[in-house]
Copies of this chain bind each other. A is one copy, B any other.
Amino acid sequence: MALIVHKYGGTSMGTTERIRSVAQRVAKWARAGHQMVVVPSAMSGETNRLLGMAKELAPNSSTAEAQRELDAIAATGEQVSVGLLALALQSEGMQAVSYAGWQVPIATDSSFTKARITSIDDQRVRADLAVGKVVVITGFQGIDPQGHVTTLGRGGSDTSAVAIAAAMKADECLIYTDVDGVYTTDPRIVPEARRLTTVSFEEMLEMASMGSKVLQIRSVEFAGKYRVPLRVLSSFTPWDIPVEEEARSGTLITFEEDEKMEQAVVSGIAFNRDEAKITVIGVPDKPGIAFQILGPVAEANIDVDVIIQNVSHDGRTDFSFTVHRNDYQRTMDLLKNSVAPTLGASQVRGDPKICKVSIVGIGMRSHVGVASRMFRTLSEDGINIQMISTSEIKTSVVIDEKYMELAVRALHKAFDLDMPTQE
């Protein structure tokens, strides 16, 4: 008998029929002898409906007071889901009980709309499991020290599920989603893309942050920190396939280094075309320059991704970074109008038509020549590399947006990801 956490997304909870099918799947696991905790998202569309009404009434809702209300409103979406799922489980003949985050309680800080979980008291849930109940807990939300309802931000239900699994030392946390696992790259771009049966935590982290939007990155970080075995699998398989078969499906995210010794050097190709590149040219190369450029950007609440500063010559250097494409114009204005003149930079150049392509693989650490194989592959296809950024398990290049598909396909082939591996 294992303690298992299931997490279901909004699409899986989208209609009463789908909720019934989730209940049947969970009941199957419980009947197989497992202790079950389930974390469902709000029914798809519900959070947007609720926040849409809120926006009509308060177009400017940036104050803490307003954000507190937004959280209280948005949190009801999951509260409806857990109640409906508990009822559906009861109709399947199970004992089931639902809890809102504040009832568990799941304690968070007071950062409304983007709160962080600080602790989870699992006494109440354990007592229910001990008497054979399935426990259904709201994702996405908690309660702050003053007793206000908070939400974790979009995708927070993944984080809730992993945090609950961590707090309860669950044997596995299964994230049911609309894809059947983590792929070597996006199958819409490379039809030969393969599902990985396992992927390391670090690789998953790099893939998630690079646009393989299978899991929220925060939930992966959480899983890594507490070493929660995490499995991504499809909620579209028939609910009545045998538990043993379902338990082996999808992709398992592992934390055991040695298991990975013999695996391929590169696990996957990630990409992202939502970025824009900005270069500040001819800035004086002296201490504090990075902060003087990026400080005002951060203050304007603009997230920066890749940052590159090359060696200087003649006491001047070029400083480049990428931002989300939606923030491109705002960032350019900020730099041109205030930052660059202050610094005495000679020019600010930008390009919103770029993309980032990365190879990700824990095997890279011990294999030389992986990056150079990447660069050679791109050059063979005539693709010019504009920026390069590397980490221990990832090498990213910024290239012209129009070459993205070509680059991804070429790299997928070059690193033998098209080949089936032994599982």
Residues facing B in A80-99 (CB within 8 A) are 80, 82-84, 86-88, 90-91, 95-98
> Quick check: A54 and B70 within 8 Å, CB to CB?
no
Number of A residues, CB within 8 Å of B: 43
What distance in Å separates the Cβ of A45 from its nearest Cβ neighbour in chain B? 14
Which one of A57, A59, A75 has the greatest number of beta carbons of chain B within 10 Å? A57
What distance in Å separates the Cβ of A147 from its nearest Cβ neighbour in chain B? 6
The interface residues of chain B lying within 8 Å CB-to-CB of A82 are 72
Residues facing B in A172-215 (CB within 8 A) are none
> Quick check: B100 and A58 within 8 Å, CB to CB?
no
Question: Measured between alpha carbons, how far is A230 from B380 in the docked complex, in Å?
Answer: 83
Given that A76-B76, A79-B76 are known contacts, is A69 also in contact with B57, CB under 8 Å in the complex?
no
- Tell whether A20 is near chain B: CB-to-CB under 8 Å: yes
What distance in Å separates the Cβ of A96 from its nearest Cβ neighbour in chain B? 7
Residues facing B in A30-62 (CB within 8 A) are 50, 53-54, 56-61
The interface residues of chain B lying within 8 Å CB-to-CB of A88 are 57-58
Which one of A19, A20, A61, A84 has the greatest number of beta carbons of chain B within 10 Å? A84
> Quick check: B68 and A79 within 8 Å, CB to CB?
no
Question: Measured between alpha carbons, how far is A59 from B87 in the docked complex, in Å?
Answer: 10
> Quick check: B95 and A57 within 8 Å, CB to CB?
no
> Quick check: B54 and A147 within 8 Å, CB to CB?
no
> Quick check: A69 and B87 within 8 Å, CB to CB?
yes
Given that A19-B57, A57-B16, A98-B69 are known contacts, is A63 also in contact with B80, CB under 8 Å in the complex?
no
